[in-house]
Structure 1
Amino acid sequence: MTSTAAVGTDYDRLYIGGEWVPPVEPGIGSSVAVHSPTTELQIGRIPMAGKADADRAVRAASAAFPDWMATPLEERLAALERISAALYARMPALTELITHDLGMPHDLCALTQVAMPAETFAITARMAREFPFQERLAQSIVWREPVGVVGAITPWNFPLAEIASKAAAALAVGCTVVVKPSDLVPLAAFALAEVIDECGLPPGVFNLVSGRGEAGEAIICHPDLDMVSFTGSDGVGRRVAELAAGGVKRVSLELGGKSANLLFPDADFEKAVPDGIFKAFLNSGQVCSALSRLVVPRERLTEVEELARTTIADCPVGDPFDPASKLGPLASAGQRDRVLRYVHSGLYEGARLVVGGPDRPAGLDRGHFVAPTVFSDVRPEMTIAREEIFGPVLAILPYDSEEEGIAIAMDTSYGLAASVWTADTDRALGLARRFRVGQVEINGGVFDPLAPFGGYRQSGYGRAGGKFGLEPFVEIKSLLVAPEGQP
């Protein structure tokens, strides 16, 4: 397979109140073109909503909320299971669509960008059946009720999975949803809206409004909106929280990261370094929890560098439809240019280039490709060691003592993820308690869809995943029951 032709997916309508409707107040231009990051050819169009469309979507969700909240739990969860089955049934077409739109290699895209969100709807239904919606205390009853109308503002790096994570949990507990996807990689959101429409959810329960910041801000500020769930950059996250504060709305933020991968001298370096590079460069490094700082003993630095070279030599970058490609392009020209600025920053500040660099990968004369890049002898104060790059750039930071290594690993304003490799599991568990992050991998731990995911500090607040992903979308009500025999 090759990605030489456009997929021709054009949308000119929004999904509001159970219907596909044209924008009544278009945003900047009536629509925007969507381009493949691999070929740079147009592959579709989407409409651009304005404030009036955001208002219409939130009002539709608000009108649908009382009935959806009152719908029996099993009926809501059956709807989620229908959506899951429908996504699995469309897996080949959705994989092709997202591969064109995002640029992730096809086979990996099928697993992480389609199968994972399809399974999210099924897992959420299973978790909701076990969720304590009602709890009896000594003299009271605690009810967990849906928070209300949720605005889900989602990023481009996992265009279907992030919507699934938010929408499945919100719908399961009885909330209604207005989704505003990124306009950069938007086509999967429209495909999901088509699936939901076919699965027969009541009108207004799920709504899709595409657009840029104007549409998102109108959703956040709407008086009928009860909660905002946002995933994206920390800068935009601060703006979301600021706007939501005006209406005292609940906010859940999953923001950036600069996650450390700390290797102790007794670690299995033959396993740890390739595993760390895979997790740093997954989705071409466009992952908020990417292990982008590799912290290693100085005496093992040469060995680590050679393992990095060997691993990257086995990870060719190229057309995501070519089975040989392990890394695809970045999602846009703007993202490519941003990453290259960080590569130049690393060179300017004196980091030593191990592999990669600012030059376009050989044989790729079009597309937003960046060579997978590794810097060594990186100092903690360097820009590439402190700021989230969101691309295939790994910083190796050497340490001279274990306490120094721990201090380097913990020296970040973010708090999303970390990784520890050591033969001493008890030491790893003790260190995991010291990390102020939401997720710690030990000796190559892998993603668990039932585990909570979210951050500390500049990485945000709120959790997704399993039963923990339901909690942000419920309010807690106490019923104080008079003792028997008293009025």
Structure 2
Amino acid sequence: MINYDKLYIGGRWTEPAKTELLEVRSPHDRSLVGLAAEATAPDVDRAVAAAREAFDEGPWPLMTPAERQEVVTRFRDLYAERAEEIADLTTAENGSARWFTGWTASALSQQTDAFLRAAAAMKWEEEMDRTDETAGRVLVRREPVGVVAAVIPWNAPHQSALVKMVPALLAGCTVVLKSSPENALVTLLLGEIFTEAGVPEGVVSVLPADRETSEYLISHPGIDKIAFTGSTRAGQTIASIAGRQLKRVSLELGGKSAAIVREDADLDALVEGLKFLSFANNAEACVAHTRILVHRSRYDEAVAKLKDLIESLTVGDPFAADTFIGPMVRADQQQRVRSYIETGIREGARLVTGGPEVPEGLEGGYYVKPTLFADVDNSMRIAQEEIFGPVLVVIPFDDDDQAVRIANDSPYGLGGGVWTADETRALEIARRIRTGTFSVNGAPFSLDAPFGGFKNSGIGREFGAVGLTQYIEYKTIAV
């Protein structure tokens, strides 16, 4: 059993204000994975004070960009050495299938490399070309935004953490990471790697905590910038707090992404692509393609193939080699997904496969059946609201214009895609969809490219050079 009985505050392992340890249990069988310290308001005060001092008085913001890059490079290498351990612990804590956590832990080195490339190419101070004869010399500096509160969800703990922490650190910021209780163990493990990498004292804190403590952190006067990944509802609360206090904020929120399947689509390629685009990480993913819009001429064929796909996915012990979908992370999340399935039935959608029952033999964990609905109207709740579980809805359309209207008829705008043999038409459609990311025939995204959403899917962007600029203030100096 793993035991983290101290919090990582300002680079030091520190006794928490709350003496009772948090029990972290497996969503597969409720067995005890480990015990962890849980942060409360006094711990937040200490972490913010350490971060504030490290930013205002410490060496980190004053180091050269190259020196900070050297430390982050060491962190990347040390992280890679522990990737298998991290993948195992993530699977144990949140139930993500081991194939997924293994892939994610390995891919995070590539994510960090993209930020390192962006930092190396960034012009941290430059003199502008003189075009105004009345002006003197003008220097433009890119400086760190300050103390960052990074608040992350449970579904992809290290990806969500490092996509904020790495660019913040490269920019010269100090960071207080607030993780969910479900991932207390694997996020506290990050403290060990940051220490070994040589991050100076005060620069990084890791605080597993509940929502009340999270709100205390983001409201803290010592915080300059909030970087959040999570639900749209929580993002709205954070945005309102940031607005009142004029804090910088970036929000990566929910989604209800649409995959448009034109009449000339390769349905076998579609099904293979949606296996990962729709169901990776137990379908507990904001960017999952969960609305499948199919041209009416291919509708029945597509529904049949999607049914075969879903029924082929092995659900069970997330450590098993053949498991594709593990349990939902908590009992309330399991009940949320099951209730949406019941809602779809009441709304009149056709249940093709799956259903609200717990899979047979898996009653001891938080499992749900992967479910497919057909004959769905886009106005139904199961087509408009983010379910955050393995539930797909299939909606027919008659032409490209109607498909675009349906895809855009959503409060969200995070992802989506089109499947077609006609690249020209694909790009025409892609340019009309109001989302931050969009793929043609399931093409993978570059980690150097910006990621984020339109509408209720968020504010700001992550990844690469654009993600790095989210942690930068611009200063103009006239000489």
Whole-Å separation in 2 of the counterparts to 1:448 and 1:118: 14
The aligned residue for residue 295 of structure 2 is 297
**1:326-345 matches, cutoff 5 A:** 326-345=324-343
**1:173-252 matches, cutoff 5 A:** 173-252=171-250
Between stretches 72-81 and 144-153, larger displacement belongs to 72-81
The aligned residue for residue 308 of structure 1 is 306
**1:274-293 matches, cutoff 5 A:** 274-293=272-291
**Aligned equivalent of 2:4, options 8, 11, 16:** 11
The aligned residue for residue 139 of structure 2 is 141
User: Counterpart of 2:272 in 1: which secondary structure?
Assistant: helix
Whole-Å separation in 2 of the counterparts to 1:464 and 1:195: 23
C-alpha contact (below 8 Å) 1:121/1:168 kept by paired residues: yes
The aligned residue for residue 48 of structure 2 is 58
User: Counterpart of 1:449 in 2: which secondary structure?
Assistant: coil
Instruction: Using structure 1 for the length normalisation, give the TM-score.
Output: 0.94
Are residues 1:20 and 2:13 paired? yes
Are residues 1:386 and 2:393 paired? no
Q: Once the 2 structures are TM-superposed, how far is the Cα of residue 122 of structure 1 from its aligned partner?
A: 3.1
Q: Once the 2 structures are TM-superposed, how far is the Cα of residue 458 of structure 1 from its aligned partner?
A: 0.4
The AA in structure 1 aligned to 2:6 is: R
C-alpha contact (below 8 Å) 1:276/1:294 kept by paired residues: no
C-alpha contact (below 8 Å) 1:274/1:307 kept by paired residues: no
Q: Once the 2 structures are TM-superposed, how far is the Cα of residue 133 of structure 1 from its aligned partner?
A: 1.6
The AA in structure 2 aligned to 1:35 is: R
C-alpha contact (below 8 Å) 1:120/1:168 kept by paired residues: no
Are residues 1:30 and 2:38 paired? no
The aligned residue for residue 36 of structure 2 is 46
User: Counterpart of 2:208 in 1: which secondary structure?
Assistant: coil
The AA in structure 2 aligned to 1:60 is: A
Whole-Å separation in 1 of the counterparts to 2:406 and 2:387: 18
Q: Once the 2 structures are TM-superposed, how far is the Cα of residue 260 of structure 1 from its aligned partner?
A: 0.4
C-alpha contact (below 8 Å) 2:311/2:353 kept by paired residues: no
**Aligned equivalent of 2:79, options 65, 70, 87:** 87
Q: Once the 2 structures are TM-superposed, how far is the Cα of residue 363 of structure 1 from its aligned partner?
A: 2.9
C-alpha contact (below 8 Å) 2:260/2:418 kept by paired residues: yes
The aligned residue for residue 3 of structure 1 is none
Q: Once the 2 structures are TM-superposed, how far is the Cα of residue 143 of structure 1 from its aligned partner?
A: 0.8
Whole-Å separation in 2 of the counterparts to 1:263 and 1:189: 39
C-alpha contact (below 8 Å) 2:338/2:356 kept by paired residues: yes
The AA in structure 2 aligned to 1:36 is: S
Whole-Å separation in 1 of the counterparts to 2:462 and 2:44: 25
User: Counterpart of 2:412 in 1: which secondary structure?
Assistant: coil
Structure 1, residues 386-435: CA drift from partner, whole Å, max 9, x if none?
00000000010111333222211111011111101122212211221211
The aligned residue for residue 270 of structure 2 is 272
Q: Once the 2 structures are TM-superposed, how far is the Cα of residue 221 of structure 1 from its aligned partner?
A: 1.6
C-alpha contact (below 8 Å) 2:151/2:229 kept by paired residues: yes
The aligned residue for residue 100 of structure 1 is 92
C-alpha contact (below 8 Å) 1:80/1:122 kept by paired residues: no
Are residues 1:117 and 2:108 paired? yes
C-alpha contact (below 8 Å) 2:255/2:415 kept by paired residues: yes
Between stretches 92-101 and 387-396, larger displacement belongs to 92-101
Are residues 1:352 and 2:350 paired? yes
Whole-Å separation in 2 of the counterparts to 1:367 and 1:218: 32
The aligned residue for residue 403 of structure 1 is 401
Q: Once the 2 structures are TM-superposed, how far is the Cα of residue 205 of structure 1 from its aligned partner?
A: 0.7
Structure 1, residues 301-360: CA drift from partner, whole Å, max 9, x if none?
210111112222332111111111111111111111100010000011111011111122
C-alpha contact (below 8 Å) 2:436/2:453 kept by paired residues: yes
**Aligned equivalent of 1:68, options 57, 60, 71:** 60
Whole-Å separation in 1 of the counterparts to 2:341 and 2:349: 10
Instruction: Using structure 2 for the length normalisation, give the TM-score.
Output: 0.95
**1:437-452 matches, cutoff 5 A:** 437-452=435-450
**1:140-179 matches, cutoff 5 A:** 140-179=138-177
User: Counterpart of 2:321 in 1: which secondary structure?
Assistant: coil
Structure 1, residues 243-272: CA drift from partner, whole Å, max 9, x if none?
122221000000000100011111112211
**Aligned equivalent of 1:369, options 367, 370, 386:** 367
Q: Once the 2 structures are TM-superposed, how far is the Cα of residue 230 of structure 1 from its aligned partner?
A: 0.4
The AA in structure 2 aligned to 1:19 is: R
Whole-Å separation in 2 of the counterparts to 1:434 and 1:262: 12
The AA in structure 1 aligned to 2:23 is: A
C-alpha contact (below 8 Å) 2:293/2:403 kept by paired residues: yes
RMSD over aligned CA atoms reads 1.4
User: Counterpart of 1:367 in 2: which secondary structure?
Assistant: coil
Structure 1, residues 165-207: CA drift from partner, whole Å, max 9, x if none?
1000000010000000011222211111111122221011111
The aligned residue for residue 319 of structure 2 is 321
User: Counterpart of 2:141 in 1: which secondary structure?
Assistant: strand
**1:422-437 matches, cutoff 5 A:** 422-437=420-435
Q: Once the 2 structures are TM-superposed, how far is the Cα of residue 135 of structure 1 from its aligned partner?
A: 3.0
Structure 1 runs of 4+ with >6 Å offset: none
Structure 1, residues 36-56: CA drift from partner, whole Å, max 9, x if none?
011111211222222121111
Whole-Å separation in 1 of the counterparts to 2:113 and 2:442: 26
Structure 1, residues 135-182: CA drift from partner, whole Å, max 9, x if none?
322242211110000000001110111111100000001000000001
Whole-Å separation in 2 of the counterparts to 1:73 and 1:132: 10
Whole-Å separation in 2 of the counterparts to 1:295 and 1:328: 26
Gaps of 5+ in 1: 1-7, 482-487
C-alpha contact (below 8 Å) 2:6/2:37 kept by paired residues: yes
Between stretches 48-57 and 360-369, larger displacement belongs to 360-369
Whole-Å separation in 2 of the counterparts to 1:31 and 1:163: 22
Whole-Å separation in 1 of the counterparts to 2:446 and 2:156: 17
Structure 1, residues 362-381: CA drift from partner, whole Å, max 9, x if none?
33232111111110001011
Q: Once the 2 structures are TM-superposed, how far is the Cα of residue 280 of structure 1 from its aligned partner?
A: 1.1
The structure-2 alpha-carbon separation of the partners of 1:350 and 1:277, relative to structure 1 and needing over 3 Å to count, comes to farther
Q: Once the 2 structures are TM-superposed, how far is the Cα of residue 88 of structure 1 from its aligned partner?
A: 1.0
Whole-Å separation in 1 of the counterparts to 2:242 and 2:35: 30
User: Counterpart of 1:160 in 2: which secondary structure?
Assistant: helix
User: Counterpart of 1:132 in 2: which secondary structure?
Assistant: coil
The AA in structure 1 aligned to 2:63 is: T
Whole-Å separation in 1 of the counterparts to 2:299 and 2:397: 9
